[in-house]
Amino acid sequence: MTPKTSSWLVPGILIALYAVVRTQGLTALPIFSDEAIYIHWAQIINSQPAEFLISKVDGKQPLFFWLNTVTLNFFADPLLAGRSVALAAGGASVVGIFWIGRTLFSTASGFMAGLIYIFCPYMFFFDRLALVDGLLSALGIWAFLVSLYLALELKSLHMGFRWLGILLGLALLTKATALLLFPVMLAVLYLWDVHRRPEFWKHLATAGCIILAINLVAFLGGPGIGVQGRVPFIHQPGYFISPAELMSFPWWLWLRNAWVIRDFYVSYLTVPVVMILLAGIVYFIRERDPKEMALWLWFVIPTGVIVVVANGFFSRYMVMMVPPLLLLTARTLERLAAWLAQTLTSRLHWEVQGGKRNTLLAILLIFTLLPSAMFDWKLMREPHTAPLNKLDRLLYIEGANSGYGVRAAAEFLRQEAHAFQEKKGYAMPLLVATSPGNPAEGVLVYLWNDPAILKVPAHWWPQTPNLIPKENRFSLRPSIYQSTPAIRREAHILDHARFIYPHTKIPQETFLRDNPKFKKVWSFIKP
């Protein structure tokens, strides 16, 4: 195979395998709470383009939701539409991973890194959820590749910095934690002395201007914060350690953060990959290869910042730091295969060359991927049986944020609504609390375009314990995120309303006492 042929054939093989593996059981895991919020925003944008910055009510950047708005027009299932965005981002990541491995080391390294990426449970799990982290990771991968091309003089400063500005600008338009990638790219350029080249600072400033231009509308436009406790751009300030606490050097908190991150990686990278990475550290300490240094910095810089400043985080925050570890795993596998071949030749006098060495490498790769494939199989078929980290099991399977029962609830309400409309002659009112997320928002996602249902955000509850307003008229808002334009409606239309009971501190018994006309008619037990 010639270099020119491998440059398109190998990525093609990886993408084909990625598509086959990653699309299996794509909706097996029910809609997660954040997915419901994001898809709902995309539905609002799709029906009201003027609300293209609706995510700012929660302090979130909008790029993922814009892309989801497009995919909603191609898929009948809104969950599939949302997850297809993350799936496409993962495909871009596979190609980017291959090119980085090929550029730094060899075509074999790039191919193995792509394979490891496809089967890695960490990426397998989050590349199949309608969350922003997979898209952020993909943009980070390609930004790193462009930085590498600049460092190795494979691309001119003029074009390279423009592409770097575009990619980092889009990353920042995806999630604020993209800021953690900025020093990584600068570190890569510093390792190869790019800053000493003529007009470096001018082109760097150009990249900065591009980043600002891409994000200017999102910074300055859109609605104000509408969710309590949120702030623009950084979303939840409570997720960060305060400056005063940082000055006290909270070692116990830093150690806790490091231990939680360790737990995430052991859970989702699998033991073989972790062991290979430990061997990779030994190789790196011994040889100090700047190419490997760049990959380690890609992992260490963002991880170190999270350890120092975070006051709480989830496993998905670490997704953008996983790709360099997979590249280092592939590189170390190559070295281990070469060492094993040399050992067999020198000590046992076995001739291990050419094809036999490749066979050794293939065997090592299979043993590395086998636990990952078993993990992935469970995620595809029965996600509740997969060995998820205990925090993620609570979030995605067992807790209030998980979506088990949401689709069934939506179908139940759909049938109720059509029977109601046929009998009464008008749409069935469905009351929902204004708190975001599951279960209510997940149900709304599935019922979005159903004309038999009148969705009524109960913005007065629970401040007013009576769910049905005592006044003769009430304000009907467009959604739980929009207060205008509101329409005044007669309160009597709510006499036969249904209500999706939210995750709240108010016991159901208290609610039923305050609202005696209501009774529980449907519920679902989670795994």
Enumerate the β-bridge partners of residue 498. 430
Nearest to 68 by CA among 43, 93, 87, 89: 43
Closest CA to 115 of 24, 23, 267, 11: 11
- Residues 234 and 229: their CA atoms lie apart, in Å, by 11
pLDDT range class, residue 96, cuts 50, 70, 90? very high
Convert 14-47 into a string of H (helix), E (strand) and C (coil): HHHHHHHHHCCCCCCCCCCHHHHHHHHHHHHHHH
pLDDT grade for 347, boundaries at 50, 70 and 90 = low
Higher pLDDT, 98 or 355: 98
Please give the angle made by the CA atoms of 275, 294 and 166, to the nearest 5 degrees: 120
Query: What CA–CA distance (Å, rounded) separates 267 from 281?
Result: 20
With 90 as the cut, is the pLDDT of residue 33 above it?
Answer: yes
Q: Average model confidence (pLDDT) for the chain? A: 92
ω before 387 within 30° of 0 (cis)? no
Distances (CA, A) of 156 to 143, 164, 197, 211: 15, 12, 11, 19
Residue 358 confidence class, pLDDT cut points 50, 70, 90: confident
pLDDT band at residue 195 using 50, 70 and 90 as cut-offs = very high
**Which pLDDT does position 339 carry in this prediction?**
85
Give strand pairing partners of 240: 310
Helical ranges in 310-354 per DSSP H: 322-347
Statement: residue 349 has pLDDT above 80: no
State residue 420's pLDDT score: 95
Question: What three-state secondary structure class fits 153?
Answer: coil
Global confidence as pTM: 0.94
**Domain residues of the chain, as ranges?**
3-385, 406-514
Nearest to 109 by CA among 101, 117, 119: 101
241 vs 330, higher pLDDT: 330
Q: Is residue 345 predicted with pLDDT exceeding 80?
A: no
- Indicate whether 103 pLDDT > 80: yes
pLDDT at 155 over 90: no
Please report the pLDDT score of residue 171 as a whole number. 98
Residue 351: its pLDDT value, please? 59
Share of the chain above pLDDT 90, in %: 81
Of 24-28, 247-251, 344-348, 474-478, least confident by mean pLDDT is 344-348
- Dump pLDDT digits (tens) for 259-313: 999 999 999 999 999 999 999 999 999 999 999 999 999 999 999 999 999 888 8
- What is the four-CA torsion angle of 182, 183, 186, 191, rounded to 10 degrees? -150
Cβ distance 95 to 14 under 8 Å?
A: yes
Strand partners, 432: 457, 500
Phi, psi of 489 (to 5 degrees): -125, 155
Question: Of 29-38, 91-100, 331-340, which gets the smallest average pLDDT?
Answer: 331-340
